[in-house]
Amino acid sequence: MLYKRSSQLFAEAEKVIPGGVNSPVRAFKAVGGTPIFVKSAKGAYLYDEDGNRLIDYINSWGPMILGHAYEPVVQAVIEKAKLGTSFGMPTELETQIAALAVAMVPNIDKIRFVNSGTEACMSAVRLARGFTKRDKIIKFAGCYHGHSDSFLIQAGSGAITFGSPNSPGVTAGTAKDTLLARYNDLENVAALIEANKNEIAAIIVEPVAGNMGCIPPNKGFLQGLRQLCTDNGILLIFDEVMTGFRLAAGGVQELFNIPADIVCFGKVIGGGLPVGAFAARAEIMNYLAPLGPVYQAGTLSGNPLAMAAGLAMLQALDTDRAIFQRLEEKTAYLAAGIDKVLKANNVTFTINSIGSMISVHFDAAPVVDFKTAANGDNETFKKFFHGLLQEGIYIAPSAYETWFITDALTYEDLDFTIRAIDKVSKTF
Ligand SMILES: *Cc1c(COP(=O)(O)O)cnc(C)c1O
């Protein structure tokens, strides 16, 4: 396949946009080469500027769980656009999507809509701090909660106690309030809590991690976090920006039957428009302005086009709950197929998967946290990525990303993908 026009468009973009992209991971830095420019998408397929058709396993990094240009979402947006695109005043639509989200997700009474997952997580932490009157938070190495300052903290000696900025621009003052723990390591979390008695406002976690490849929680990990939080007056924040309305109608809280105190959403909840949200029981949500002292706002929050898209998406998922089972079966089928061909070609690998999330790691050891995820062989991943691209299959241009299975993918698409992986892995 040729990607000529994409390369030209990227060269033009680089002149006026830093790195040619509006979000860094799109830039192919981890795999080399130049990004594919998309012209359109429908169902399971992307159509690029060179006229190639690609089977899409990224799906806008998660939102398009029903496939691209899902008709009810597209129609809802078109109809609403005709009535005006933003008012900065309340609309009935906001109450409708809020009521549906509250009905679908366990343990929440109220929800507030924002414009991105980043905003949701940032606001959730502010709310937790205001509610508990404490400053520090615990996050896990390898978990991503958007690009706000508190979350851009990397592990390293000394970081455990003081935090150290890993992006220039994050002040040492901000970094010191973020404590880092190892994913799937409860003892590590308990030690941090012990060393910071009565200072920790919240533990924020991807309850199924998806930003270091797909890493499900070990048995007892989430339950253990719940207990530690309850025992120590700490709020447990589930960042379900990726997993919400994806792994179950009620997300990971429902899947594993573990209640969080605050839940963050994004991606699927917006049906492909820029939407995030955070939610909790009324006692906590009432701390937000205008009812309470914690300030949080947004000119375009609850935007009618975004709410129309999100509502159409949630309604589709709510009325067809069998979808989560279908997605899980497709994922298991793909995982089994990949396992078979990689073994036949003597490739060293580990496959992690749960629900509609799956990742292939080029390392034999179990991948359970950031350190083990980083052990994967990136040279093999690069060949894998570019080989699949030549076959017309688009996976994320980074070994640290999850693939997303959508309802639009057919078993023929999955078989085609498995055959392509067989072919590509013979060239490793
Ligand atoms: C994508 C993601 C975010 C950030 O959401 P944006 O909409 O990109 O700001 C936060 N948390 C998790 C778990 C995510 O996957």
Please provide the CATH number assigned to the domain covering 71-319: 3.40.640.10
Q: What proportion of the chain, given as a percentage, has pLDDT over 90?
A: 90
Task: Tell me which residue of 308, 259, 289 sits closest to 86, measured CA to CA.
Answer: 308
Instruction: Note the pLDDT of residue 154.
Output: 59
Q: How much is the average pLDDT of 26-38?
A: 93
Q: Model confidence over 241-280: pLDDT tens digits?
A: 999 999 999 999 999 999 999 999 999 999 999 999 999 9
Query: What is the average per-residue pLDDT within 29-35?
Result: 92
The residue whose CA has the least distance to atom 6 of ligand 1 is: 117
Structural tokens at position 50:
């060179």
| Residue 152, pLDDT score | 84
- Read off the pLDDT of each residue in 128-156 and give the average, rounded to a whole number: 88
DSSP summary character for residue 348: -
* pLDDT score at 164: 55
Ligand 1 atom nearest to 121, measured from its CA: 10
Q: Are 428 and 383 in contact (CB under 8 A)?
A: yes
Given a cut of 80, whether residue 237 has pLDDT beyond it is: yes
Read off the pTM: 0.96
Mean pLDDT of 289-314: 98
Of all protein residues, whose CA lies closest to atom 11 belonging to ligand 1?
145
Instruction: Report residue 379 as tokens.
Output: 């040279």
The CATH number assigned to the domain with range 4-69+322-425 reads 3.90.1150.10
pLDDT digits (tens, 9 = 90+) for 76-96: 999 999 999 999 999 999 999
Q: Is 328 in the pocket of ligand 1 (CB under 6 A)?
A: no
Question: What mean pLDDT comes out for the span 379-400?
Answer: 95
Residue ranges per domain, the chain? 4-69+322-425, 71-319
Calpha distance 270→71 (Å, rounded) = 15
CA of residue 150 to ligand 1 center, whole Å: 14
Instruction: Give the residue, 173 or 46, on which the prediction is more confident.
Output: 46
Q: Do 369 and 182 form a contact (C-beta atoms < 8 A)?
A: yes
Average predicted confidence (pLDDT) for the chain: 95
pLDDT band at 382 (very low <50, low <70, confident <90, very high): very high
By most ligand atoms within 8 Å of CB, the mutation choice from 23, 59, 118, 143 for ligand 1 is 118
Considering the chain, what percentage of its residues have pLDDT values greater than 70?
A: 97
What's the sign of the alpha-carbon dihedral 331, 336, 340, 346?
A: positive
